[in-house]
Amino acid sequence: MELTPRLRALADLVPQDARLADVGTDHAYLPVWLLLQGRISRAIAADLREGPLNRARETARQYQVEDKVSFRLCDGLSLVDREEVDVISIAGMGGETIAAILQAAPWAREKLLLLQPMTSFPDLRLWLQQHAYAIQRERIVREGERLYTVWAVTAGAMEPLTLAELWAGRQDREDPLRAAYLELMESKAKRALEGHLASRQRDEGEIRRLTRVLEGLRDMRKEL
Ligand SMILES: C[S@@+](CC[C@H](N)C(=O)[O-])C[C@H]1O[C@@H](n2cnc3c(N)ncnc32)[C@H](O)[C@@H]1O
């Protein structure tokens, strides 16, 4: 089994012998790959919907690790016990859903979180900051035409993120994809600003905020 670069970046952050819960597992490629590699010995694969969880069962059956995976049909971590896991991965979901899952399970603070949001990056970074989580590490991954970020998060203090960092994160400056990622965030912020400028009911506060985000992102790119 080959993982895509996005899932591989998540897998690389899972410590040896960790007890993993993969929330929103769908096909369960991540836990099954980790089991096949001998990186973990058991996993919880959780999903909100029956169809994806059946796909997870099918993958585990195909690779003969079904007995090492506990399947949970549930919203977020609602059927996962805090004593069962060390690491929680939540990937391929919107930032707001990820925040809601963490909000509903305050015990997740004791664990290593591996997050890979698809949308609402600024909202999720802000939520983490406001709830005393620290983003320890961000990696940028290219898969096909798309760029993704994978975050390792724990409870703890983090130097407050600037407005632009809420959008683009604080990855390693040496990351070869950093410039491309900043450019992508700049284009998203620019589109959002243009939308507000064209709106009949202009929200001047939001226009000022987005202008500062855009300036900050441009400065970050110049500093590379
Ligand atoms: C796009 S798939 C991502 C699959 C895999 N994690 C990955 O990154 O490749 C998103 C999955 O999250 C599940 N999901 C969405 N909201 C959820 C929630 N609140 N709790 C558990 N699973 C959820 C969906 O049913 C779907 O299977």
Give residue-wise pLDDT tens across range 152-205.
999 999 999 999 999 999 978 789 999 999 999 999 999 999 999 999 888 999
Minimal-distance CA residue to ligand 1 atom 9:
92
**Residue 79 above 90 pLDDT?**
yes
**Are the CB atoms for 86 and 112 separated by under 8 Å?**
yes
**Residue 61 above 90 pLDDT?**
yes
**Cα(60) to centroid(ligand 1), Å:** 17
Tell me, using a 6 A CB cutoff, whether residue 49 lines ligand 1.
Answer: yes
**Residue 224 above 90 pLDDT?**
no
Distance of CA 1 to the CA centre of its chain: 22
Q: Are residues 14 and 118 in the same domain?
A: yes
Q: Are residues 53 and 110 in the same domain?
A: yes
Provide the domain count of the chain. 2
Final residue belonging to a domain, choices 135, 160, 185: 160
Final residue belonging to a domain, choices 160, 187, 214: 160
Q: Note down the domain range covering 197.
A: 162-224
Tell me, using a 6 A CB cutoff, whether residue 149 lines ligand 1.
Answer: no
Question: Which amino acid appears at position 14 of this protein?
Answer: V
Q: 79's torsion region: left (phi>0), alpha (psi -120 to 50) or beta?
A: alpha
Q: Are residues 168 and 149 in the same domain?
A: no
Q: Are residues 198 and 224 in the same domain?
A: yes
Q: Are residues 102 and 207 in the same domain?
A: no
The predicted model scores a pTM of 0.96
Tell me, using a 6 A CB cutoff, whether residue 26 lines ligand 1.
Answer: yes
- Residue 43: pLDDT band with limits 50, 70, 90: very high
- Between CA 122 and CA 132, with CA 127 as vertex, the angle to 5 degrees is 130
**Six-digit token string for 218:** 């441009």
**Cα(114) to centroid(ligand 1), Å:** 14
Distance of CA 212 to the CA centre of its chain: 25
The span from the CA of 90 to the CA of 10, in Å, is 10
Q: What is the percent of the chain with per-residue pLDDT over 90, rounded to a whole number? A: 94
Q: Are residues 19 and 81 in the same domain?
A: yes
Q: Are residues 10 and 104 in the same domain?
A: yes
Q: Provide the CB-side half-sphere exposure for 222 (13 A, CA).
A: 6
